Chain A
Amino acid sequence: DIQMTQSPSSLSASVGDRLTITCRASQSISSDLNWYQQKPGKAPKILISAAVTLQSGVPSRFSGSGSGTDFSLTISSLEPEDFATYFCQQNYNTPYTFGQGTKVENK
């Protein structure tokens, strides 16, 4: 199985902050990497597919980068609705696997 490791596991930030979450794959996955946002009691929501493609309706403050084994999700200016948990997911090989999540909390 491809292991996905996110860092940090949690972070405290304030509205307006720029933050970056990283995700590392245990082997190269090309650009087959997705990012999801999950709020308490809700299902995950797709933000970015194919490492860099912003999904329809997702604010442009979210961006993704990377290829191979190292990826990142950046929020350029944190909004109140962005406090949530973020997961990366590789779709390169089955079994599809997720990172352990990064919880973004209000400082």
Chain B
Amino acid sequence: QMQLQESGPGLVKPSETLSLSCTVSGGSISSYYWSWIRQPAGKGLEWIGHLRATGGVTYNPSLKSRVTLSMDTSENRFSLKLTSVTAADTAIYYCTRVAYRSVYPITYNWFDPWGQGTLVTVSS
């Protein structure tokens, strides 16, 4: 069974860079798209972006100028960097796989499975 695990600092200072990794076990990241999603405490979910090993990265325009997603297939993990953080970036950050089912000619996607999430607080 595929499992995802986020890792990285839980506290980041304002104006600095938030860096998180997601290690995938029980399957190869060479297949599928992989996403990051965040959720401020008590609030809704925001899609940050997705990427795949064969190339192709898409970012949420609201974060595009500050976000970089990357992948290390040798380590079976993918990563998120968010620069110039502010208190508004304080959230639980989730990594997830983009699962899919094709019913020609349409492909349906959904997020599954998810990591347990990691809380990142931006504070001095």
Contacts and interface: CB of A to CB of B under 8 A. Distances in A.
Given A43-B115, A43-B117, A50-B101, A98 B108 contact: no
A58 to B, nearest CB: 11
A97 interface: yes
A34 B112 CA distance: 11
B60 A98 contact: no
A46 B110 contact: yes
Nearest to B63: A95
Contacts of A100: 44
Contact of B44 (A94, A96, A99): A99
Interface residues of A, number: 26
**DSSP majority for the A interface?**
loop
A82 interface: no
A43 B47 CA distance: 14
Binding site of B, secondary structure by majority: helix, strand, loop or mixed? strand
A44 B45 contact: yes
B116 interface: yes
Interface string A18-39: 0000000000001110101000
Contacts of B112: 45-46, 55
Contact of B45 (A1, A30, A89): A89
Interface string A76-107: 00000000000101010011111111000000
Contacts of B109: 32, 49, 91
B65 to A, nearest CB: 14
A96 B34 CA distance: 13
Given A49-B108, A50-B101, A98-B47, 20 more contacts: A31-B108, A32-B108, A34-B111, A42-B116, A43-B94, A44-B111, A49-B99, A49-B101, A49-B110, A50-B103, A55-B110, A55-B112, A87-B44, A87-B45, A91-B108, A94-B60, A96-B47, A98-B45, A100-B44, A101-B44
- Which 7 A/B pairs are nearest by Cβ-Cβ distance? A43-B114, A95-B60, A50-B108, A98-B45, A49-B110, A96-B47, A46-B112
